[in-house]
Amino acid sequence: MLTIGMLGGMSWESSAEYYRLANEMVRERLGGLHSARCLLYSVDFAAVEAIQVEGRWDDAAELLADAARSLEAGGADLLLLCTNTMHKVADRVEEAVSIPFLHLVDATAAAVRHAGLESVGLLGTAFTMEQAFYRDRLAAHGLTVLVPGEEDRAVVHRVIYDELCVGVVKPTSREAYRQVIGWLVEAGADGIILGCTEIELLIGQDDSPVPVFPTTRLHVEAAVDRALGAREQ
């Protein structure tokens, strides 16, 4: 079994989900007392959030590249960047290490294409919904990407940072997200990408009339597939 390197802490609420899911998936596949071999490097999200707001993406890239190098030095065999938004600097992180980097958007797009869908609605932080790095990567896989209108994007973003990142889950926010999903479906979305790791704390398949694609789970599944594919017989 390979050792999965998790670069997280953005927020730790979502990184905890990465850790939990990886161990659950390994136990489900191998049985008994098996658990995932993994390393977790958790950054201080307050510092990262300030960098995001100030647009200092070069600083963000160097911070995460340093963390990635630490995971490789610690023995990680493959690397996950446990955040959607910070995939804006994924290329710089990948360049910093020699171990395989599993890109979250590629794992998500593969699941969407496997489901036979071509048009998806994207929920995430304002950075993810509004900037090109995420939508263009999805489009490169042949997908049409729809995002909410300006007011709805503000609601989705606020709930992530003010509530989900600090462990607050409100039924009123779930209903607001359901409404946004409904409008995306009306606009032509055949599926919904939960493009922020924390959103999976709030929204699931029961909240959408079309298939949802939980990026955290899909990312972890790709990592576990890779880790167990190389396990000793």
Residues labelled catalytic: 83, 196
Closest CA to 167 of 11, 9, 52, 42: 11
Q: Which residues contact 147 (CB under 8 A, 6 or more apart)?
A: 121, 122, 129, 130, 135, 153
SS3 at position 199: helix
| 131 CB burial (10 A radius; 0-12, 13-18, 19+) | middle
Host H or E run for residue 81: strand 78-81
SS3 at position 96: coil
User: Distance (Å, rounded) from C-alpha 106 to C-alpha 2?
Assistant: 20
